Amino acid sequence: MINRLDRFVYLKGRQIKAEYRDQIVEAYQGNPFIEALPCRLSQDQLFQMLYSVPRFTGDINRLNSEERVELVQQIKPSYWQPLSTHFERYRNLYNMIKIGYQSRNPLTPIYQRQMAIGLDRILAAGTDEFGRNLAGNLQTAQQMADIGLSGMGKSKSYERILSLFPQVIHHSEYHREPFPCKQVVWLHIECPSNKSVGALCRNFYWAVDKLLGTTYYEDLAEKDGRAEVLAKRMSKVAGQISLGVLVIDEIQRINRGYSGGDEKMIDFITELTNSIGIPIVLIGTFKALYLFKSSLANTRRGIPDGYAENITDRMRDDWEWELFLKGMWDLQYTNKFTALTPDLKAAMYFHSLGIPDFAVKLFMHVQCRAILYEDEEEITVNLIEEVANKTFRLVQPIFQRIRGGEEIDPAEYEDLKPDWISFKEYLMEAQHRITIDGNLSEEHKLILLQHNRRILIDQLTVFAMKMGCSGDVALTYAEKIEVQNRDAGNDIELLYLEIAKLVFENKSNVSKETEEVEEKTKQKKKPTKIKNPDLDESDIRFIVSQGNLNNMTIDEALRDSGLVGEYDEFV
């Protein structure tokens, strides 16, 4: 059971008792859900709340190098420089929540009518041409998408901004009338990796259950259905818990294959906002862009009016970048403080390309390196370059292209990120360096080599699988070939050739062996019984997939091939 629960990652927030505040906007007055929300923060206040640096008040020079490396490690989790985009996000989010609740005032007759009609029926009926639902209520929910490079701090900023809001507000009395109600202001869920829309829904139920102690997971999670059904069920629950905003993170992880194609994904997402009116924020990397491109082109899909899209590319070399870098630059734990010169600034931008995550990592690595190996603990342009070339070795080629002014599909450099040498490995390697001084560069090479080796094996495995091997077999082939040809260097063509040979040899061997075996068993089995189920043209799965190619639904495909009986075929 524990494993099962581990899958679900979600952000947890505060729970508070409701306190009601007067509202300026007339439409908001008398709505306990809105009046219970915290006051809007000004830009200054927000920056005060968000700004954070690792805290250290002692004298750096009295610490030894190991202790200072420990401090360096604190930069990544704690350093947070609020930027203007963060305020924008906050404003958007705050507005979305308020506006979303506007149409859901629990004290109005129309809300009661919705409850009386039943959310099921409202969802089923959809909206009329004015956007009103069955109860005549006009939904005010908005939808927002936040797309950006990984490492831009999207998720982080939402996490920080969301934690400024209470997560659950407990209402008990409103204007001396009893009003027992739990209001869930926000819910942040992450898409499980490479899973379907269904898994996302389960994640949602699980988060709600953890929050409120309900049993939605048990009741609803294992029921399957089409995307529309899942979405309806989910928005129904969201309506029941008076959800303010639903934040779905890592939306790019939803696998198109599992979920029945792009179309269905888009349907699912629009269904969620349309009828019940829950504001939704979708966060994802450029890989998720496909979800939005076509939806925007296609207005009949009923994207709500209040749809906002926020696409973040890497930072430009302007005042914000300077602010970010300056703030970080103060966090030096070297025994000599290096001031930020224009040259250093340029070098940092050049090597990190203005991606905050890269910049922070680079800065940390540079400091580590300075503290552990350099005689003078000083940050220089040369040092930055040296470290960057090592740390970002695998992304260098693409970085070069970007620097060369080439237009690159952002989705392309996405894939490279996981291949960095992580900070831990870097440190591990560093330890070795101190103890076995002479072998430094060899050690370093080894780590890189192993890294490359794994990538190579992956490539070869994929290749072998394309040639029709099963996963396990493909992997053994790939490893074998890689070991045999390690001296051959990086001639990947040669390796592919070798794999191909191996696959063909073994294939013919296998078929010979099976033939021999069959002969030995006294020809009990007829030779036609060669295992190849996929070639049977009357196989239902084949029929359906063929039908799919011709844009037929499953039932149409089956009907077309005469496999469907009508109720009254014998009457």
Residues that bind other proteins in the complex, under the rule CB under 8 A:
224-226, 229, 531, 533, 538-541, 544, 554-555, 558, 562-568, 570-571
Q: How far is the CB of 543 from other proteins (least distance, A)?
A: 9
Q: Which is nearer to other proteins, 233 or 369 (CB)?
A: 233
Q: Which is nearer to other proteins, 490 or 538 (CB)?
A: 538
DSSP category for residue 80: B
**318-347 as b/e: b if 16+ CB within 10 A:** eeebeebbeebbebbbbbeebebeeebbeb
Q: Which of 165, 182, 188 is closest to 98 using CA atoms?
A: 165
Q: Which of 95, 109, 105 is closest to 27 using CA atoms?
A: 105
Q: Which is nearer to other proteins, 408 or 554 (CB)?
A: 554
Q: How far is the CB of 533 from other proteins (least distance, A)?
A: 5
Q: Which is nearer to other proteins, 421 or 474 (CB)?
A: 474
Tokens of 502: 């191996």
Q: Which is nearer to other proteins, 319 or 567 (CB)?
A: 567
Q: How far is the CB of 565 from other proteins (least distance, A)?
A: 4
The count of other CB atoms within 10 Å of the CB of residue 3 is: 6
Q: How far is the CB of 556 from other proteins (least distance, A)?
A: 10
**421-448 as b/e: b if 16+ CB within 10 A:** bebeebbebbebbeeeeeeeeebbeeee
**285-317 as b/e: b if 16+ CB within 10 A:** bbbbbebbeebeeeeebebbebeeebebebbeb
Strand order in the sheet with 245-249: 186-190, 245-249, 280-284, 143-148, 307-312
Q: How far is the CB of 251 from other proteins (least distance, A)?
A: 23
Dihedral sign, CA of 44, 46, 49, 53? negative
Q: Which is nearer to other proteins, 424 or 529 (CB)?
A: 529
Q: Which of 35, 107, 34, 113 is closest to 279 using CA atoms?
A: 34
Q: Which is nearer to other proteins, 212 or 558 (CB)?
A: 558
CA distances from 267 to 241, 305, 554 (A): 23, 16, 19
143-148 and 280-284 beta bridge pairing: parallel
Amino acid at 265: M
| Contacts made by residues 94-98, CB under 8 angstroms, sequence distance 24+ | 94/40, 95/142, 96/141, 96/142, 96/144, 96/245, 96/279, 96/281, 96/306, 97/37, 97/165, 97/185, 97/186, 97/244, 97/245, 97/279, 98/28, 98/34, 98/37
**In a 3-state reduction of DSSP, which class is residue 201?**
helix
Q: How far apart are CA 98 and CA 279, in angstroms?
A: 10
Count Cβ atoms within 10 A of the Cβ of residue 542 and give its class: 0-12 exposed, 13-18 middle, 19 or more buried.
Answer: middle
Radius of gyration of the chain from Cα atoms? 29
The count of other CB atoms within 10 Å of the CB of residue 197 is: 24
Q: How far is the CB of 530 from other proteins (least distance, A)?
A: 11
DSSP category for residue 23: -
Q: How far is the CB of 487 from other proteins (least distance, A)?
A: 40
Q: Which is nearer to other proteins, 19 or 534 (CB)?
A: 534
The count of other CB atoms within 10 Å of the CB of residue 396 is: 15
Q: Which is nearer to other proteins, 124 or 554 (CB)?
A: 554
Q: How far is the CB of 126 from other proteins (least distance, A)?
A: 17
Q: Which is nearer to other proteins, 455 or 530 (CB)?
A: 530
Q: Which is nearer to other proteins, 486 or 541 (CB)?
A: 541
Q: How far apart are CA 264 and CA 553, in angstroms?
A: 13
Q: Which is nearer to other proteins, 449 or 564 (CB)?
A: 564
Instruction: Estimate to the nearest angstrom the gap between the alpha carbon of 484 and the chain centroid.
Output: 38
Q: Which is nearer to other proteins, 176 or 531 (CB)?
A: 531
Q: Which is nearer to other proteins, 130 or 570 (CB)?
A: 570
Q: How far is the CB of 554 from other proteins (least distance, A)?
A: 5
Instruction: Estimate to the nearest angstrom the gap between the alpha carbon of 551 and the chain centroid.
Output: 31
Q: Which is nearer to other proteins, 523 or 538 (CB)?
A: 538
DSSP category for residue 415: T
Q: How far apart are CA 288 and CA 31, in angstroms?
A: 36
